[in-house]
A and B are shown apart, each in its own frame.
Chain A
Amino acid sequence: MNSAFFLVLRRMRAPIIVLIVIYAIAVIGLTLVPGVDAEGKVAAPLSFFHAFYFVSYTATTIGFGEIPGAFSDAQRLWVTICIYLTVLGWSYSVVTLIALLQDKGFQNTLTTNRFAWRVRHIKQPFYLVCGCGETGNLICRTFDRINQAFVVIEKDDLRVQELDLQDFKTDTPALAADATQPDKLLLAGLKHPKCRGVLAATNDEESNLAIAIAARLLNPGVPVIARARSAAVAANMASFGTDHIINPFERFAEHLAMAVAAPERFRLIELLTSLPETQIPEIHRPPGGCWILCGYGRFGHAIASRLQATGIHLTIIDPQAPDADHGFTGDGTEASTLTQAGIAAAAGIIAGTDNDVNNLSIAVTAHQLNPKLFVVTRQNHSGNSALFAAYNADFTMVHSQIVAQESVAILTAPLLACFLEKLRDQNEIWSHGLVERLQRLCAGLTPVVWDIRLNISEAPAAYRALMHDQPFSLGEILRDGTNRSLPLNAITLLIERGSQVFLLPDDSFSLIAGDQLLLASPLAAQRNFEFTVRNANELEYVLSGREESGSWLWQRLTKIIKPRNRS
């Protein structure tokens, strides 16, 4: 507010001085020009007070007439001059003020000030999302759905305006500014005590790198999640200690290879890391054998190195890439090229060029040549979602979705990374069992994966109960807070206690204070549980069925009455 106020003062300096001078001339003139009395004789001029009064109401065009008495002709002459002078002065002031209000720089100052004020007054933990393109927007919408506060910085003014139009539940502070400038990051709350993490999700690799570096240097305590498409930038980010680097190409290649090698485990990871409370993804079962890969850029290379490791034989078509398989004339959109590459005997095809229309063309042509083919398509722009949905490939890679899913999963449940690590040691049957349970959990939607630590800040009621010799097991507390005879619709995936980790603990597992729980459940069950562990009365009801009163006096009274009843 301060700088805008000073800007107004500075710009209004000239008009105000002009106004003061005009008033002074008019008032002093009026105190010099002789007046006339009722008999027509020359009288004394107006006093300063009367002159100022007269000029005040005349200059502002209120015009009460000639007060205190009728004017002499000399006074009328002077007043005529004064009227034009003062109107000029006022118009100049008003025009300057209006021009100032419409000034782009002034409006920028106002919006920036308002943004900074709102960021300063955020009460709950928030994330700083840099870049609100396809990926950023998906992340924002997900955060909004799970009631997570966030702040947005986006370079493009239009996208920020679009953000205003999306009906978010909360009013999100958003600033149109270049996030690579450290002062803008600070303005957006990088050093705010409630800042829980920074997401560098702009379309530009160098910007993401700059954001990651700035965040690491300015506030080493907050985790940074950055998107990188090239290995060089990823390595650079890693050297700066960026906590989590998401390369959508690598990640998709990893998933595709896992879907071939360990389909159940892949299914489990897919369920746990997909965006919360969205449609359960369809089951992907890519076959082994011979595959054809069209497009051998960064995406193609990532896919090739991962898939070949699982024993798949790849035929690579890309006329532009020197290290692709030679001897093919086209880029895979023609039937002749695909036939030449052995489409008849192939088990799957990956349409992985950076052109959405070509990818669809490859997919459609290949499917006509060999209807049993497993088709993987790469979607570059979310604007083409309708086309890809209409075609309905066996597996579609949307890079913005991959980055958004992984960011949200890691930010909302830090323990999930640990759980996914443990998953590597489990066999397919174990994974299948868990997948079945998760799919039954929330009727066609994906579960929310979240964690909670039983400590004083996150779960005060449960913490106090555990510290005051009122131990309970997992099954006792995972109860519906509205009706305790019903179990809570949630699966405990993992419990972390110090350095120990318990995978899929059963209901008899007894909890101690400080345990960190990783759970998968519908959003409503999460709310239910959080309320239970925070509110002592709710906890009492869930554990024992007693409806306790919260008031201190009533608790004292019951304590006095109870021993009497016993005796």
Chain B
Amino acid sequence: MNLEKVVFGFFIVLAATLNFGFFLGDIERPELHNIYELAAALVVSLIATALKFGDRTQIGAIHLSTSLVADLQLIAAAITWMAAVHITGVGMTPHVTSSVVSLSGGALFANVVSVIILIVETVMLRR
């Protein structure tokens, strides 16, 4: 058993599950989307990205790029949330909530790709 693989797999899957948890629920209702879940998803996604730094294989490169995509989407969602509450002051209207959740949905797609790559990598493993 390779500890590095365990840790990496853990973070990739955790990023996907947290994001999925946040994404779940009616897209327009802010009370169904917890901000802490978004924060946790963002942090775990960032850690998963850092874990792939310095991997020079082809699969490692795709992992890194999908993680970066997820990071970017989640950061965009967080900034949208922050802007609505603190800058424009409109608060979490259905319009804002739906854009935050749909951004996280995009990140979820990247997370799913990451998980698929992880599975493919595991299946290809010959040891």
Contact of A128 with B by CB under 8 A:
no
Contact B39 A24 (CB under 8 A): yes
Interface residue? A238 (CB, 8 A)? no
| Residue from A12, A27, A47 within 8 A of B86 (CB atoms) | A47
The 5 nearest A-B residue pairs measured at CB: A10-B54, A9-B53, A24-B43, A49-B82, A9-B54
A214 → chain B closest CB, angstroms: 27
Nearest CB on A from B25, distance (A): 19
B contact residues around A21 at 8 Å (CB): 43, 47
- A187 interface residue (CB < 8 Å to B): no
**Interface assignment of B113: CB less than 8 Å from any CB of chain A:** no
Q: Does B24 contact A (CB under 8 A)?
A: no
Q: How far is the CA of A9 from the CA of B54 in the complex (A)?
A: 5
Give A3-39 as 1s and 0s: 1 = Cβ < 8 Å from B's Cβ atoms: 0001101111100110011011001100100000000
A-B contact pairs, 28 of them (CB 8 A): A6-B56, A7-B54, A9-B54, A10-B54, A11-B54, A12-B53, A13-B51, A16-B50, A17-B47, A17-B50, A20-B46, A20-B47, A20-B50, A21-B43, A21-B47, A23-B43, A24-B40, A24-B43, A27-B39, A28-B36, A28-B39, A31-B39, A47-B82, A48-B35, A48-B39, A48-B82, A49-B85, A50-B86
Known: A10-B53, A49-B82. 19 other contacts (CB 8 A): A10-B54, A10-B55, A12-B53, A13-B51, A16-B50, A17-B50, A17-B51, A20-B47, A21-B43, A21-B47, A24-B39, A24-B40, A24-B43, A31-B36, A31-B39, A47-B82, A47-B85, A48-B78, A48-B81
Q: With a CB–CB cut-off of 8 A, which chain A residues contact B54?
A: 6-7, 9-11, 13
- Which of these, A16, A23, A28, A50, contacts B53 with CB under 8 Å? A16
Across the interface, B43 reaches (CB within 8 A) one of A9, A11, A13, A20, namely A20
| Interface set, chain B 15-57, CB cutoff 8 A to A | 35-36, 39-40, 43, 46-47, 50-51, 53-56
Contact A49 B53 (CB under 8 A): no
Cβ of B86 and Cβ of A49 under 8 Å apart?
Answer: yes
A383 and B47 alpha carbons, distance in the complex (Å): 60
Chain A residue total in the interface (Cβ 8 A): 20
A7 to B54, CA, bound (A): 6
Nearest Cβ on chain B to A5's Cβ, whole angstroms: 9
Chain B positions within 8 Å of A28 at CB level: 36, 39
Residues in A neighbouring B50, C-beta threshold 8 A:
13, 16-17, 20
Q: How far is the CA of A9 from the CA of B50 in the complex (A)?
A: 8
Give A13's nearest chain B residue, CB to CB. B53
A6 vs B64: C-alpha distance when bound (angstroms): 12
On chain A, the residues within 8 Å of B56 by CB distance are 6
Docked complex Cα distance between A16 and B40 (Å): 17
Residues of chain B contacted by A27 (CB below 8 angstroms): 39
- Write out, one digit per residue, whether chain B residues 89-118 have a CB within 8 A of any chain A CB (1) or not (0): 000000000000000000000000000000
Chain A hits for B36, CB < 8 A:
28, 31
| Residues on A with beta carbons closer than 8 Å to the beta carbon of B53 | 9-10, 12-13, 16
Which chain A residues lie closer than 8 Å to B81 at the CB level? 48
How far, in whole Å, are A226 and B51 apart by their CA atoms in the complex? 50
Write out the residue numbers on chain A whose beta carbons fall within 8 Å of the beta carbon of B39: 24, 27-28, 31, 48
Provide the residues of chain A in CB contact with B82, threshold 8 Å: 47-49
Chain A residue with minimal CB distance to B53? A9
Closest CB in chain A relative to B56 CB, distance in Å: 6
A497-509: CB near B (< 8 Å → 1, else 0) gives 0000000000000
List residues of chain B with CB within 8 A of the CB of A17.
47, 50-51
Query: A9 to chain B: which residues have CB within 8 Å?
Result: 53-54
CB distance from B124 to the nearest CB of A (A): 22
Per-residue interface assignment for chain A, residues 185 to 217, with 1 indicating a CB less than 8 Å from any chain B CB and 0 otherwise:
000000000000000000000000000000000
Q: In whole angstroms, how far apart are the Cα atoms of A6 and B51 in the complex?
A: 13
Output the nearest chain B residue to A19 by Cβ-Cβ distance. Answer: B50
Q: Nearest B residue to A27 by beta-carbon distance?
A: B39
Shortest distance between the CB of B97 and any CB in chain A (Å): 15
Residues of A contacting B40 with CB < 8 Å?
24
| Minimum Cβ distance to chain B for residue A553 (Å) | 55
Closest chain A CB from B67 CB (angstroms)? 12
The docked-state distance in angstroms from the alpha carbon of A405 to that of B84 is 79
- A50 CA to B39 CA, complexed, in Å: 14
Q: Could you tell me the distance between the alpha carbons of A13 and B47 in the complex, rounded to whole angstroms?
A: 9
Cα distance, A21 to B78, chains bound together (Å): 18
Bound CA–CA A87/B104 (angstroms): 31
Interface residues of B in 62-85 (CB under 8 A from A): 78, 81-82, 85
B85 CB contacts on chain A under 8 angstroms: 47, 49
What's the minimum C-beta distance from A332 to chain B, rounded to whole angstroms?
64
Which residue of B43, B51, B53, B56 has the most chain A CB atoms within 10 A of its CB atom?
B53
Please measure, in the bound complex, the distance between the C-alpha atom of A31 and the C-alpha atom of B82, giving whole angstroms: 14
Q: For the complex, what is the distance from the CA of A81 to the CA of B50, rounded to whole Å?
A: 25
A85 to chain B, nearest CB (A): 15
